[in-house]
Chain A
Amino acid sequence: MADTRVKQPKGVKLDHISKIYKDPKTGKDFYAVHDVDLTIEPGTFVTLLGPSGCGKTTTLRMIAGFESPDEGEIYLGGEPINALTPNKRDTAMVFQSYALFPHYNVFDNVAYGLRLRKVPKDEIKRRVTDILALVELSGMEQRMTNQLSGGQQQRVALARALVVEPGVLLFDEPLSNLDAKLRVQMRTEIRRIQQKLGITAIYVTHDQSEAMSISDNIILMKGGVIAQMGSPMEIYYHPNSEFVADFIGECNFLKGPVSSVGAGEATVKIAGVDVPVATDKRVSLGEEGEIVLRPEAITIADRGMLPCRVELSCFMGSYQNYHVRVGDTLVKITDNCPINKEIFDVGDNAYISFDKNCAHLL
């Protein structure tokens, strides 16, 4: 496999896409997807992330062609594809349930798409063998799919989609049926293969850690609209709303009036203390400020920035989990490597501190 990049990956453009469904209970129409407008560069790995019912799967199924958009146009490699049936689109999908053909063995499952494309027999054999080697299933060609473990079935599903060298690879929550450990292993695998082949991938999941670990870009959706787009780090550290901050990892929100404004930073008055936070936002004095703080960005000690009272202290192995009360607000703290540190008990008074660059002003 000297050159695995046989075909150019394609970019995807969703031009103000909407999808309307009828609510089965009320009989009223509603937007399942509303005005989703985005461009996916060729060769990138993009994740559609969001809680169930946010429209991420509907968006993916519109790209695959199983659903038709009510507004907007979808472009694949620059060509409009709205009117194309799924079998005419240069996409391949990996399904949540794997959707392997139970009456075929592994080889025939993977060869299915190639046979439809009338690829010569010996080439089919070569390409299937190569792709099975890539997903580390060599020697399993003759197995029936129900003789495989969940992880292996997942690999067959991946191989079956990869072997046709689609312009875009679509993933519909492919790992949600695997156990936690395998899930982590498989997502690394998927990322490795995607980077090796340089293929465009669109991945749907509700699991934020999966999204972070695997993607070049995350598109976080809520209620059918895009809540935020950006790289994993951007979204994690610079969420644009409480929803985004809360959905991506654990989060604390500290609210208070803005007490001073400087160049690239501001202070917010919390529990009577001026708390500094780095920000590029234009804020004005006296307006309500909300600081987003990740639990791991906070330290707890005998002295520090804000006084607090410990309400929960729980040893979790790699970290000590605290819930502390700052004024009226509950703050969650994960304190790493607790063995080297002083452990506070429930009822103790302590102080929390954090770096202004680790905090983010909403």
Chain B
Amino acid sequence: MARGQSAALDRKKLMADPIMMTTIVVLIAFLTLFILYPLAILLVDSLYGTNGLSLETFQRVFQMRTFRKAITNTLKVGFVVGILSTLIGLLFAYVEVYVKMRKAVGGLFKVVSMLPVVSPPFVLSLSMIMLFGKAGLITRFLLHIYDNNIYGYWGIVIVQTLTFFPVCYMMLKGLLKNIDPSMEEASRDMGASRWRVFTTVTFPLLLPGLGNAFLVTFIESIADFANPMIIGGSYDTLATTIYLQITGAMDKQGAAAMAVVLLCITLAMFAVQKYYLERKTAATLTGKASRARMLIEDKSVTVPLTILCSLAACFVIMMYICVPIGALFPTWGYKFTPLTFKWFSQVFTKYRGLKAFKDSFVLSLIASPITALLSMIISYLVVKRKFKAKGFIEAVSILAMAVPGTVLGVGYIRGFANGLFHTGVLSGIYGTGLILVIVFVVRSLPTGTRSGISALRQIDKSIEESAYDMGADSLKVFTSVTLPLIKDSFLSGLVTAFVRSITAISAIILLVTPSYLLITVQINEFAEKGAYSIACAFATILILITYGSVVLMNVVIKYFGTSRKLKIKEAK
């Protein structure tokens, strides 16, 4: 029994489809060159020194006390943040799905889940310093504590938890909604109390999902660069240590070895999350809720839970609001009135803000359609087509999700500064806007691909097959059938890519050259210098841009989206 003939025929059919063939080849080349190669060169560089193949570099970095400390710091922070975020996320998700609450509280929840998406990564660090730091509004002026040190371990933990728990909340909300209420009703019917229902039915069903949420946050936390940079003080994590190793110690080889260590940690976590927990989650929670859940109306439960969550939500929102307000005070911590726009005008007059916004805006604007289209093409190929290299394309584009920005940044420095494998080939792209655009694309590709894949899985495979059967070639099938059907997903992918690009910092900060001013890099600089007011002014404008583009997307989807139109008709 040999499957040779069908393989040969499939190959022949693929060859007869030049567009598909080219797409696949180009994709493989892109993924290899810009994701696999930079990671591979890190490993090569850290193993292959002047004395040939050796573990010398690794021994060297592991002998640094700062590096060993950074590893334990990173893991400690990641672990605590993972647990805290999962618990708070669970609380929010449970309250939203199980407890009857007022509309206004629901609105609060929505805002909380939305904020981290549209805001640059270090906004919370800024407001944390401004509210609880030495000259913090709350610590100094409300509580009269004059030497509160927010920098360090607790600062990072609090800020990261507040940044990442909405992700857990959204993940767990989806899972809780999928639990069939009749299971819990059966348990309650047999005499279990609400608490017992939670501990014996809901919680066990949710357990793999909780593990999943924990690991996702863990990975996010250890990959986070911006927050530890601003609020970490002398408490260094791996991401910041690597950055300093390059910018401070100018030790690129050492940084490469450190990056390999960081990458190994995230990849291991990612592998567990992807191949063990995600599957388990899917296995335990396959059922769709058969009907609506009876919400908890018991006041002794609803009131405390609602108040707790509302307070937490208000706290988070206050943290975010602090940033624009901070930009309006004449001098933060000393002079609060009269409110002034001087920082905003200084952004443009004194600090070349216009160029920064233009550069960031233009580069992100170029990167986002490329990302959106690329991720839709990858999703289409992965979900709908059958070919040999499919596994490779899927694996690499998902793998990119587990690569911390700092690691990628170091990889690009090592991989492209002197050309491919230090031969000078392609070295021309280093330091240009092109490489920044490529980094933007690579950084947003996994999210886009993931949402594209789930959108395409919803669409019956035979719709595309029928177009194909009718005589359409691959390009025609994609443009006339696939793309129109996932227009919404494409549009939101476009905006997500834009927002992610314009707020990105971790990889970019290592690669940007003086010819480009990027907003996030600027904010980081001002925040490090302690110029919080100007940093806030920059951040406020950035938030306005990202929020504006999300609003724009929703409007566009509302009026031009396909699936929405179809949904409305079906409802009638």
A residues whose Cβ falls under 8 Å from a Cβ of B: 19-20, 29, 31, 64-71, 82-89, 91-93, 95-97, 99-103, 112-113, 116-117, 144, 146-147, 160, 164
B6 pairs with A113, CB closer than 8 A: no
Number of A-B contacts (CB under 8 A): 103
B469 pairs with A69, CB closer than 8 A: no
- B460 is contacted by which of A82, A99, A160 (Cβ under 8 Å)? A99
- B469 is contacted by which of A64, A70, A147 (Cβ under 8 Å)? A64
Binding-face segment, B7-15, B269-277, B284-292: B7-15
A61: nearest chain-B partner, CB-CB: B465
Interface CB pairs A-B, < 8 A, 24: A19-B6, A20-B1, A20-B6, A31-B1, A65-B469, A70-B2, A70-B3, A83-B9, A84-B13, A85-B13, A85-B16, A85-B17, A92-B469, A93-B465, A99-B462, A103-B484, A103-B562, A103-B566, A112-B472, A112-B480, A116-B471, A117-B471, A146-B566, A146-B569
- B6 is contacted by which of A31, A64, A67, A85 (Cβ under 8 Å)? A67
B4: chain A residues within 8 A (beta carbon): 70
Q: Does B298 belong to the interface (CB within 8 Å)?
A: no
Q: Does B104 belong to the interface (CB within 8 Å)?
A: no
A164 pairs with B5, CB closer than 8 A: no
- A71 is contacted by which of B5, B470, B485 (Cβ under 8 Å)? B5
- A86 is contacted by which of B5, B12, B465, B476 (Cβ under 8 Å)? B465
* Interface SS majority for chain B: helix
Known A95-B462, A101-B463; contact A87-B2, beta-carbon cutoff 8 A: no
A164: chain B residues within 8 A (beta carbon): 470-471
B465: chain A residues within 8 A (beta carbon): 66, 86, 93, 95, 99
Known A20-B3, A31-B1; contact A97-B460, beta-carbon cutoff 8 A: yes
The smallest beta-carbon distance between B567 and chain A, in angstroms, is 9
A91: chain B residues within 8 A (beta carbon): 469
- B1 is contacted by which of A29, A144, A147 (Cβ under 8 Å)? A29
Q: Please, how many angstroms separate the alpha-carbon atoms of A100 and B471 in the complex?
A: 15
Q: How extensive is the interface on chain B, given as a class?
A: 20 to 34
B5 pairs with A96, CB closer than 8 A: no
Residues 549-572 of chain B: 1 if any A CB is under 8 Å from the residue's CB, otherwise 0?
Answer: 000000000000010001001100
The smallest beta-carbon distance between B479 and chain A, in angstroms, is 12
Given A69-B9, A100-B463, 11 other A-B residues pairs in contact with their CB atoms under 8 A: A66-B469, A85-B13, A88-B16, A93-B465, A95-B465, A97-B460, A102-B562, A116-B470, A117-B471, A146-B566, A164-B470
B466 pairs with A29, CB closer than 8 A: no
The smallest beta-carbon distance between B285 and chain A, in angstroms, is 22
B3: chain A residues within 8 A (beta carbon): 20, 29, 70
B460: chain A residues within 8 A (beta carbon): 97, 99
A68 pairs with B1, CB closer than 8 A: no
B5 pairs with A101, CB closer than 8 A: no
A86: chain B residues within 8 A (beta carbon): 465, 468-469
Q: Give residues of chain B (1-49) contacting chain A, Cβ–Cβ below 8 Å.
A: 1-7, 9-10, 12-13, 16-17
A87 pairs with B469, CB closer than 8 A: yes
The smallest beta-carbon distance between B33 and chain A, in angstroms, is 29
Q: Does B473 belong to the interface (CB within 8 Å)?
A: yes
Q: Please, how many angstroms separate the alpha-carbon atoms of A88 and B468 in the complex?
A: 9
B466 pairs with A93, CB closer than 8 A: yes
Q: Please, how many angstroms separate the alpha-carbon atoms of A327 and B200 in the complex?
A: 56
B473: chain A residues within 8 A (beta carbon): 87
B466 pairs with A99, CB closer than 8 A: yes
Q: Please, how many angstroms separate the alpha-carbon atoms of A234 and B434 in the complex?
A: 72
- A93 is contacted by which of B469, B480, B481, B566 (Cβ under 8 Å)? B469
B12 pairs with A83, CB closer than 8 A: yes
The smallest beta-carbon distance between B247 and chain A, in angstroms, is 50
Q: Please, how many angstroms separate the alpha-carbon atoms of A102 and B16 in the complex?
A: 29
The smallest beta-carbon distance between A220 and chain B, in angstroms, is 24
Q: Does B171 belong to the interface (CB within 8 Å)?
A: no
Q: Which of A66, A92, A147 has the most CB of B within 10 A?
A: A66
Q: Does B420 belong to the interface (CB within 8 Å)?
A: no
The smallest beta-carbon distance between A42 and chain B, in angstroms, is 20
B566 pairs with A116, CB closer than 8 A: no
Q: Please, how many angstroms separate the alpha-carbon atoms of A65 and B460 in the complex?
A: 18
B566 pairs with A102, CB closer than 8 A: yes
Q: Please, how many angstroms separate the alpha-carbon atoms of A184 and B516 in the complex?
A: 70
B472 pairs with A68, CB closer than 8 A: no
A99: chain B residues within 8 A (beta carbon): 460, 462-463, 465-466
The smallest beta-carbon distance between B398 and chain A, in angstroms, is 21
10 closest Cβ contacts across the A-B interface?
A68-B9, A99-B462, A68-B6, A99-B466, A113-B470, A95-B462, A116-B471, A83-B12, A70-B6, A103-B484
A87 pairs with B462, CB closer than 8 A: no
Known A103-B566, A112-B470; contact A82-B463, beta-carbon cutoff 8 A: no
Residues 459-495 of chain B: 1 if any A CB is under 8 Å from the residue's CB, otherwise 0?
Answer: 0101101111111110010001100110000000000
B569: nearest chain-A partner, CB-CB: A146
